[in-house]
Structure 1
């Protein structure tokens, strides 16, 4: 038998949080656990079904995100969504009715992504119901957004597609707003892209080509090397298509080590 759903008494009383950095720019966060894992009740999950090489160097799988209290909060958020999506939608809509959210921004997914059509559609209903608040998101769910968001997007929702996922080939840098992770700020500048380092809202309010300097996590920087997420993912995609990479290069692509 499947595990019983999380009881309502275990659901988070507050859904949106705000750290010091985001408070400075008037942004609130909604967070799920990153990528794949297991809930305390034994259920497995994947909140980032289109993650590619990004999973090897995900900031949300490191540091404070691994603290038990933080991880428990993110698991509780996900369990609420999985166990009672209508109840979660109602709770999120109600919380966003608070005066402090009028004129503020909400970043959907400090980690995690729009992992299903039903979940994305629930968010769209929340966004439309709270038009005094701005919402934005990074996402690798390109096909899902093309089908469900792009035809008629809410005026108060902005998004940026981020490289490093399995749907990179569907992105068009000449048309789409896109974000790529670079080894450092200088690499962003040298490529002619525009850094969002000073203010995360620049990812959706600034120029269309968004450069993100990599987090200064030494073992992640070693894996990234001199590449960007876009070029690293392209290497892996080419290897998977049997593009003639040498055996050592194929092993490196799979392990996430620089070639």
Structure 2
């Protein structure tokens, strides 16, 4: 089959490239977060950068593709997209995405806490270390904020028997080695790590981080579905307006890793 440049509008290639961008960001972010631990804080920062960017760009694609579907393939203006800003919670609301776990007014929802965390990181807390060093505007330490989110999800979702096992084994190891082993280091909360905590943090994060990742998956499910729906609508508009010239790619090709398989996600170690 011979393919001509006339078979594709510029928007087809640009949407493909943006899809590849958000997919790469999210996959890198999930892989980095899965392997992060309090002894390697740099991995957390890298994960937060990748995930906040990926979530934002994915949601802005929903906005753009919806606009093209409703306006004979005309894309929104740069000003329209810039108005969305970087507040992920506000973009989520603007797109009328539904977090099924909570009502619109339930600010205690863990999904809203996740959105709030990534919004803060995207807009301010990524500069926390520099701001604190230079006496700038005080912001929350993103590592401490993530730690609070992590502990909430562990408290809500981690099997109580496993948590008790991790805790008791860590205390036993600390008691057996306290005369010959010491710890110099700070946890994600900025406090010095005690010996029992030093033995507990590794197993706790290995068990709890997959639960955090699944919660982010739940948050992204409405975004994924909205992009699929907008793509279907825009492809119908595509056919009606310019016929066989492709202006809208199949955006679900960039969401193939966002499946509804909790056990599969919990066991996953690397994202494509």
In which range does the TM-score fall when normalised by the shorter chain? under 0.3
TM-score normalised per structure 2: 0.24
Structure exhibiting the larger radius of gyration computed from Cα positions: 2
Q: Per residue, is there more strand in 1 or in 2?
A: 1
TM-score, length-scaled by structure 1: 0.25
Higher relative contact order (CA 8 A, sep 6+): 2
Name the structure where helix makes up a greater proportion of residues.
2
